Amino acid sequence: MQVRDCLISAPGKAILHGEHAVVHGKVALAVSLNLRTYLQLKASSDGKVSIKLPNIDTFVCWELSELKQLNPGLSGKKEEGQCLDPELVKRLREFMGVTNENLDSSTTATLAFLYIYLSLFGSGEMPSLMVCVWSELPTGAGLGSSAAYSVCLAAAVLCASGAIPTPLKEWEQTAGWCQEDLELINSWAFQAEKIVHGNPSGVDNAVGTWGGMLRFLAGKIIPLSRVPLLRILLTNTKVPRSTKVLVARVKDKINKFPSILIPVLDSVDAISCTCEKVLNEMTCEPIKGEHYNILEELIDINQHHLNVMGVGHPSLDTLCQVTAARGLHSKLTGAGGGGCGITLLRP
């Protein structure tokens, strides 16, 4: 099997409004950041599959003979990226000696890599590969670092398996895929995200795949083609947190207090729709101070809602207080509970 070397990158993301509301079919708005994760895939002749992750100093390696024993019955159907195979996940966890649910980011990233590699190559010829990952994104900070990695991983292995072309020509520095190929990349990236987060919304991998600004509703992705360029100050509280734990916390609270939390989610939905309307206006007419006034008010209201949902944190409260003292408006991004906050900056 001829495997072509490739270098792929994907952006991180900031949630403007509505990530937790997506759980109940509400609108979320997300925007890509000018911070990226990079993945280089090379063919190897040593009979091994190896990967080096950003927070690990050395490559993790497996013999091809070991991996071939893990994929009995796998078809290698490259068009099927929608349903996670629980049996394969179970075999991989046993293979890696993983016994608990609270895994570190390196372990889940490795599981995701092996899952996509084995799923896409199936029981056919399995190539020897060397994968190296590096990133400008901090992990566990609400910036979609795992999704950016998952998108790079899916795109690289799909290219290596021949499921999608490698569009980059020798004389070009960058290239992209057609819509159909992007949808396939996104579907496999979503499977990797499920391994990392359990029950992700799909917003992060969609932004990593398409970039720009997206409207996300019930799994339907609508890229916003005309959006103003927003200046955002990004602040990392450096408080680690787990997206899986925080999403579960919101679900539990909704189940416990549905008459209280569902109206909050409806309000977040309205915030997202109002924000989208304002952003559209800002592309059709001269930008006014009133546009920024509305966006700032929406940020404040959304942040209060997120605290009601139980995903705030004292470090994020401090961020909001410090920036408010200087006339700026901030909110958390991602799952909350620490991680990063975003502050809207006027021109």
- The percentage of residues in the chain with a pLDDT greater than 90, rounded to a whole number, is 50
Of residues 279, 278, 253, the one with CA closest to residue 265: 253
Looking up tokens 């002749």, which residue turns up? 45
pLDDT (0 to 100) of residue 73: 58
Quote the tokens at residue 106. Answer: 């390196």
Active-site residue flag, 146 = yes
- Strands of the sheet with 329-332, listed across from one edge: 231-236, 340-345, 329-332
Quote the tokens at residue 222. Answer: 């609508």
CA dihedral of residues 246, 247, 250, 256 (deg, nearest 10):
-110
* Catalytic one of 9, 119, 145, 146: 146
Quote the tokens at residue 40. Answer: 């280089």
pTM above 0.85, yes or no: yes
Quote the tokens at residue 137. Answer: 């994104």
Q: Is 58 helix (H, G, I), strand (E, B) or coil?
A: coil
Residue 28 contacts residue 18 (beta carbons within 8 Å): yes
Q: What pLDDT digit, counting tens, does each position of 150-179 carry?
A: 999 999 999 998 888 887 776 666 778 888
Rounded to the nearest integer, the mean pLDDT of the chain is: 88
Q: What distance, in Å, lies between the first and last C-alpha atoms of the chain?
A: 53
pLDDT (0 to 100) of residue 222: 86
pLDDT band at 223 (very low <50, low <70, confident <90, very high): confident
Residue 158 contacts residue 188 (beta carbons within 8 Å): yes
Q: Is the pLDDT of residue 295 over 60?
A: yes
Least confident of 91-105, 178-192, 323-337: 91-105
pLDDT (0 to 100) of residue 283: 86
Residue 4 contacts residue 290 (beta carbons within 8 Å): no
Helix axes 145-161, 105-121, angle to 10 degrees: 20
Q: What pLDDT digit, counting tens, does each position of 307-346 carry?
A: 999 999 999 999 999 999 999 999 999 888 999 999 999 9
pLDDT (0 to 100) of residue 74: 57
Q: What pLDDT digit, counting tens, does each position of 17-51 carry?
A: 888 877 677 888 999 988 999 999 998 888 899 99
Distance CA 105, CA 97 (A): 15
pLDDT band at 81 (very low <50, low <70, confident <90, very high): low
Distance CA 271, CA 186 (A): 27
Residue 167 contacts residue 65 (beta carbons within 8 Å): no
User: What's the count of helices (H) and strands (E) in the chain, helices before strands?
Assistant: 10, 10
Residue 27 contacts residue 215 (beta carbons within 8 Å): yes
pLDDT (0 to 100) of residue 37: 95
The one-character DSSP state at 63 is: E
pLDDT (0 to 100) of residue 145: 92
Residue 302 contacts residue 331 (beta carbons within 8 Å): yes
CA dihedral of residues 272, 252, 194, 339 (deg, nearest 10):
60
- Measured from the Cβ of residue 304, the count of other Cβ atoms closer than 10 Å reads 14
Q: Is 178 helix (H, G, I), strand (E, B) or coil?
A: coil
* Catalytic one of 9, 204, 242, 330: 204
pLDDT (0 to 100) of residue 123: 65
Q: What pLDDT digit, counting tens, does each position of 66-80 carry?
A: 888 887 655 555 565
Quote the tokens at residue 130. Answer: 């060397």
